[in-house]
Structure 1
C-alpha cells in the first residue's frame, strides 16, 4: 500500500490523480491539469494517496477547512492523516452556497450550508472507489469494506487491500451515483471527534500564505489617500512632492481618493503622506458620535416602524401596577481584525487575477468584471487565508475589490498590491452601527410581566445596497434581529424601529444585530425578573414559550448545572449574571462571575452551554464559543469608535482603541448539548450572550445597570 508522502502540499501541487471534481480552470496555473475522473466539484485524490478537499467557504480562522473536510472524510471513510484542504476558486455555478445562492461565507452558514453537499461528495467518491475495486478484483461491491483509507475484501481465498491512491487509475469508467447513501449518526467515526485542525501546522510554523505575502513579478505596492471625514470629496491634489519620494513610481486619482504606487509599502506610505490634497467637506458628516447618540435616543422614544406587535401594549402598560423604563446606548465599533484589508491584482489586456481574503467571491468577481468591462469568467479570484474578518470583508458595496480594480485600471496592465494600514481601517468606517434601545416593561401586582416595549434606533445595513430589496415595511431585519421573536411568554409586546441617517458607512459585525439586541433584551428582562422577585434562571425557564423552548431550556438548565447556580451572589465580592440567546440557528446560555478590581470589572469565569445540532468537531465548537465570547467581552468592556465634534475619528490604532488582553480573558467552560439535529452556525452565536451576562452580574454587584457600553469609560 502506498505510504503517505510527508510533504502533502508538495504532492498536491504536482501530482495528477483522481479528481472527484468538475474540470475547472485553476487560477494562477498555466494550463488545465488532466484529471481522469470528475463526478463532483469538491474532492481530488492523487496516486500518492492524498485526499484534497476544495472548500467553497472562506477559512477566516473559524475552522471551516477542518469542519467541511471532516464531513468529506467521514463519508469517504478516509484516514484523517491523508486529508488536506484548500479554498475553491470563484465559480458560482459549482460553489454557490445552498443558503445564499451565490458563493460566499457569512452569517455562520458555512457548516449548515455544507452539511449535505460535502457528505454527498464524500459518499459519491467512496462509491466510485468501491466499484473500481469490485471490478478489478471480480467481487461484489457489497462485500468490500472501507476503513481509514483502506479499501478491502476478505474472502475464503482472498485478502485484497488497496489504498485510495492505488485505485485512482481504475476509476476512469466508473460513473458516480447521483444519490449516494449517507451514514447515520451512529455510524460516524470522525464527526463528533476532536480531529486536529488542518490549518494549524502552517499557521503555527509561519508557512501559511496570506494576501500580504503574495508577490508577483514587477509588482507595485499601493497606498490610497482617502477623505479625512465621511462624505468629504476630493477637490484637487499636487503629486510633485510624492513623486519625488524615493521608491514612488506614479500617482493616480481614483474614485476613492489618490493612489500612490511604489516599490514597497514604506515608500507608498511615505509618498501618500507627502501628497498635497484639498478636500471638500461641505457634505461630510460633522456631528460627533455624542451628538448622534442624543438624536438617536430621541428617535427611539417614538420609533415609527412596527416590527412585531402582539396584544395591546398600550392598554397593558396603562393598567400595569408598575412600569419600568430603560435606555441602552451602544457605540460605533471597529472590527479590528488582526489583518487589515490587503490584496493583489494582476491585470492583462482582457482578464484580471486577484489574490485576496475574499469572503464573498461571487460579488467580488462581478464587481471586478463590471469595473474592467469583461465577463465574470475573465476574473479569477484566489481566496487566501484570512487573519480574521468578523464581517469586515463581506461588504455590500464590494468597496475593497472596487478600489483594487480601479488602481489597476488607472495604471494599466501589471501587478499591484493594495494595503490598508491599521489606521486606514480604524478610521475608514464600516463600523457596527451606533444604536439606542428604549425599553418599557409593565408588571402586575404579582411581579409578572404583562407588557413589553422595545424601540430601536439605528442605521440600516441594507439600505442603499443590493440587499435593499429585503427591507420590508420599513424594517431592516438586521436592525431588530434578536429583539423580535423572543422565546419568552410576553402576551403584550411591541418592537419598533427608527432607521437613522448618517454618512458614516456601517457594516455587519460579528453576530450583527444580535450584539446589541441581546444586551438590551436580556438585561432588561433580568431587571424585570429582579423587580418581580423572580430568580434569574428559574424566571426565564418559567417564561419559555417558543416552539423551540426545549432547546432554550436545555442550554439554560445545563449552564445552571455546570455553574452550580445558586443565585446572583457568589460570595467573596463576586456576583453572577446569566443570559440566554438564540442566533444563527444556535442556542447559547452563559453565566459569568464578575467582581470589581481597580475600579474595573474583572470577569473570573464564564460557563457556556451551546446547542448547535450535531457537533462536527467539539474542540472547534468550544474554541468558537470561547473566541466569540472573548470578542464580545472585549467590545462590551472597552471598545468604542468615537467621532469628535466636526466628524474626525479619534481612534486610529490599538494604542487608543483598547482591546482585551490575554490576562483579562476569563476562564471558560463550555458544555455542548448532544444532538442528532443538523448542525447550525457556531462562528457568531458565542458573542451575543456574554455582554448581558456580565451586565447582569454588574447590576447584582453594584445595584446599578450599565446603560451605556462599553463598561469601562475611555
Structure 2
C-alpha cells in the first residue's frame, strides 16, 4: 500500500525498513527443534513523534535449527506497536491479508490484552525482514499453512499485556498509588478508589520510561472481552469503497504496463519474434524479448493487450512437445509399483491382510489443480542502476525481495518491496516466479513497469497442486473392524523444492500429512511415499497433503464400512478413539439429520479429518440428476479448532474453503495435451457460481485447546464428504476426481 494512503483500521507501512505433533499436522513447525531459544520479550520502548513505540519479540515458538548458535538478537524477529497521542494503536503486521481475516483477528488479540476498543487499532504492512518479522512457527516471514493465528495467539497477546502494564505503571507513578490499585479499560487507566482516569495518549512519555516487564500474566479465557466474539472486519470498509489497494492497484509516477506471453509448451523457448506489428499499435512503446517470454510495454493495458495479440512468436516446444496426461498417469503408476519409503510401519500389515476376514484394494487418482485466484498474478517494478523497487502482493515478502535482487543483479539491501493486500493466494503467492519474471522484463524498460498476467497466462503457467496416485489395501476382521491398513502415496514433493531441509530420507512431511496418522484405531498400518516429479511445476494449493489424503483416507474408510455392511457414521465413531473426533462427528451428523429419509438419487456422505491443528467433520447432502450432474444441496460442518478468536471469520474460512474444494471436486483439473495445459479460463476451469452453492451450516465446538488453523481444513474435507454422498445416492464409488458425470448418468 502506498505510504500516503491511510484507511480506517488499515494503514500503510511508514517505518524503516501434544496432538498436533502426534498427528504431524504442522509439517514445518513439527520439524523445528523442541528446545526454545528465548530472550526478553520487550526489546525497547521509545517516544517518537509523540507516539509510544514498543519493540517486542515474536519468539513464541522454536526456531529452525542453525549450523551455529545465532547471536541473541537473531533468535526472533521484532514487531512494533505504536500508540499515538489520540489513543490510536498502530501495529505493524508480520502477516498478510488475502481474504482470511488476519487484519481483524490479530488486532483482536492485541486489543484484548491492551484493553482498547478494536476500532482504535490500525494495521500496516511489515517491510521484508526475517530477523524481525518471521512467522515463529515457520522460521521466516511467511503467511501460509493455516499458521497465522496459531503463530500470533500468544505473542500478540503478550505484546498488548506488556504495553498495558507499562501504561498502568505510568499512571500509578503519576498518581502516587500502587499499580495493582489501578486497572485499564477502553484505552485508559482508571484508579477506582479515587475515580481518577487518564487516557493512554496522556501517558506516553511516562510509559516509555517504565521498566520493561520480564513476564506478564495473560487473561484467562473467562475474562475475554473480544476473543471469541464476532467482530466486523476492519478491512471491509476500504474494500467496499474501493480505497483498499492490492498489488494490481500500484501506480507509482510514470507507470507503464506490460502484457506478456510465455512459451505455450511446458519448458518451451522462444526462437524469435518480429516486434513490428506490436510497435505499430497506438500506445505501444516497446517489445521486450526474453528466451521464454515476450512482453509488450504500453501506456495502458488495452494497448499492451492489442500489441501482444498482433505478435506471431516462433516457439520451440522443447522436450515436452508430445507430452499428454495419459503418459503422466502411466509414469506415476509405474513409479508406485516400485514401492516407497516407509513413513509409518506399525504391527504386521502383511500378516494382518493375509488373515483378514474381508479385504479390499483400491487405487485413487487426484489431478493437478489450478489456483486461479481472483487477482491474477502481477508485479510492478522499477529497476534503476543502483536500486530496484517492487510493488506486489505476496505471501513470502523476503523471498520476493531475494528473487528481485537475483533477477536485477543488485544486492538485496538495494531492493525495496512494498507488500499489498492479496486478491486471493491459495498458495500460489507462496511462489516468486512472477516477481522474478517481472524484474527480468523491467530491466529492459526505463521507469516503473507493471507486468500483469492475463487469466490465460495465469492458468496455463500456474504452478499446480500435485497429482497423486494412491494405492490402498485394507482388511476387516470377522466383527467388521479394521485390522490392516496399507497406503502408498505417489506424487510430487513441493517441500523438496521449497524447503529442502525438511525433505529427509525420501519423505515429505507435507505429502503424508493426513495419511500417516489416520484418526482411527489401526493395529497394523503401513504408510509409504514414492516421490515422483512430473514435467509440470507443482506448488502448495490450500492444503496440499490433506486435500488429497483426506479424500483417500475418508473414501477408503467409507468403502470399508460398506464392505462391513455398517453405517458409515457409526463405523467411524466405533473406531475413532479421540473424543474430539467423536464430538465433531456426532455434532455434524445431528445437525445434518443423518439417517433421515431422502428422495431417490439423493444421499448424504460424511468425512472426518484432523488437519492444521483442527478437528473437522462434514456431512454433505447431494442430489444427482439423470444427466450425471451433481448438486451439493447442504453442507453441514462441525469444527473443533481450539480457542476461537473471531467466530465469523472461522465460519467464513470453513465455508469459503468448502466452496473452493467443491469447485475442484466437481470440475477441477489441469490436463496436458501436446505439452500444453489445455485449460485457459473459467469456461473450462469453472468455479461454483452463487446459484450453485449449497446451504451451509457451520458449528464451532467450544474448546480449551490451543488455536488450530481454519484456512484449509474446509477445502480438504469437502471432497470425500461429497464423493461419499454421491455413492450413497447412486451406488457409484468415486476413486478419481473430478467426479465422472458420464458414469453417474449411467447409474
- Alignment TM-score, normalising by the size of structure 2: 0.87
Match of 2:98 among 43, 60, 63: 60
Residues 254 and 410, structure 1, Cα contact 8 Å, conserved in 2: no
| 1:346 alignment partner, SS class | strand
Shift of 1:504: 0.9
| 1:38 alignment partner, SS class | strand
Q: 1:23 to 1:294 in 2, by over 3 A?
A: farther
Deviations 1:497-534 (A, max 9, x none): 23223221111101112111111110111110121122
Residues 440-519 of structure 1 aligned to structure 2 (within 5 Å)? 440-463=473-496, 465-519=497-551
Matched, 1:694 2:722: yes
Residue in structure 2 matched with residue 682 of structure 1 by the alignment: 710
Residues 268 and 292, structure 2, Cα contact 8 Å, conserved in 1: no
Match of 1:561 among 576, 582, 590: 590
Residues 303-318 of structure 1 aligned to structure 2 (within 5 Å)? 303-318=339-354
Residue in structure 1 matched with residue 123 of structure 2 by the alignment: 85
Shift of 1:285: 5.5
Residue in structure 2 matched with residue 220 of structure 1 by the alignment: 256
Q: 1:175 to 1:637 in 2, by over 3 A?
A: same
Residues 432 and 509, structure 1, Cα contact 8 Å, conserved in 2: yes
Deviations 1:103-140 (A, max 9, x none): 11110011111111111111122122212222333332
Q: 1:34 to 1:161 in 2, by over 3 A?
A: closer
Shift of 1:11: 10
| 2:265 alignment partner, SS class | coil
Shift of 1:614: 0.4
| 1:575 alignment partner, SS class | strand
Q: Distance in 1 between matches of 2:175 and 2:451?
A: 56
Match of 2:278 among 242, 245, 249: 242
Shift of 1:700: 1.3
Q: Distance in 2 between matches of 1:297 and 1:331?
A: 13
Match of 1:72 among 89, 92, 110: 110
Matched, 1:150 2:188: yes
Single out whichever of 681-690 and 45-54 deviates more from structure 2. Answer: 45-54
Deviations 1:392-451 (A, max 9, x none): 1002xx212211222232335x21111111111111130112222222222233322222
Single out whichever of 82-91 and 691-700 deviates more from structure 2. Answer: 82-91
| 2:581 alignment partner, SS class | helix
Residue in structure 2 matched with residue 620 of structure 1 by the alignment: 649
| 2:494 alignment partner, SS class | coil
Shift of 1:189: 0.6
| 2:531 alignment partner, SS class | strand
Q: Which runs of 5+ in 2 are unaligned?
A: 1-5, 16-41, 57-78, 743-747
Match of 1:531 among 563, 576, 579: 563
Q: Which runs of 5+ in 1 are unaligned?
A: 1-6, 25-31
Residue in structure 2 matched with residue 399 of structure 1 by the alignment: 433
Residue in structure 1 matched with residue 247 of structure 2 by the alignment: 211
Residues 418-457 of structure 1 aligned to structure 2 (within 5 Å)? 418-457=451-490
Q: 1:87 to 1:21 in 2, by over 3 A?
A: farther
Q: 1:298 to 1:446 in 2, by over 3 A?
A: farther
Match of 1:357 among 393, 412, 416: 393
Residues 9 and 234, structure 2, Cα contact 8 Å, conserved in 1: no
CA root-mean-square deviation: 2.5
Residues 12 and 50, structure 1, Cα contact 8 Å, conserved in 2: no
Q: 1:713 to 1:504 in 2, by over 3 A?
A: farther
Residues 621 and 725, structure 2, Cα contact 8 Å, conserved in 1: yes
| 2:680 alignment partner, SS class | coil
Q: Distance in 2 between matches of 1:709 and 1:103?
A: 34
Q: Distance in 1 between matches of 2:503 and 2:341?
A: 12
Q: Distance in 2 between matches of 1:139 and 1:628?
A: 52
Length, aligned pairs only: 687
Deviations 1:61-80 (A, max 9, x none): 00111111000000001012
Residues 645-660 of structure 1 aligned to structure 2 (within 5 Å)? 646-660=674-688
Matched, 1:123 2:161: yes
Shift of 1:244: 2.3
Match of 1:327 among 349, 352, 363: 363
| 2:168 alignment partner, SS class | helix
Q: 1:243 to 1:696 in 2, by over 3 A?
A: same
Shift of 1:21: 9.1
Residue in structure 1 matched with residue 296 of structure 2 by the alignment: 260
Matched, 1:637 2:666: yes
Deviations 1:275-312 (A, max 9, x none): 34222223225321233223323433443333222222
Shift of 1:572: 5.9
Residue in structure 1 matched with residue 59 of structure 2 by the alignment: none
Shift of 1:254: 3.6
Q: Distance in 2 between matches of 1:122 and 1:377?
A: 32
Residue in structure 1 matched with residue 620 of structure 2 by the alignment: 592
Residues 301 and 438, structure 1, Cα contact 8 Å, conserved in 2: no
Residues 270 and 290, structure 2, Cα contact 8 Å, conserved in 1: no
Shift of 1:219: 1.2
Residue in structure 2 matched with residue 98 of structure 1 by the alignment: 136
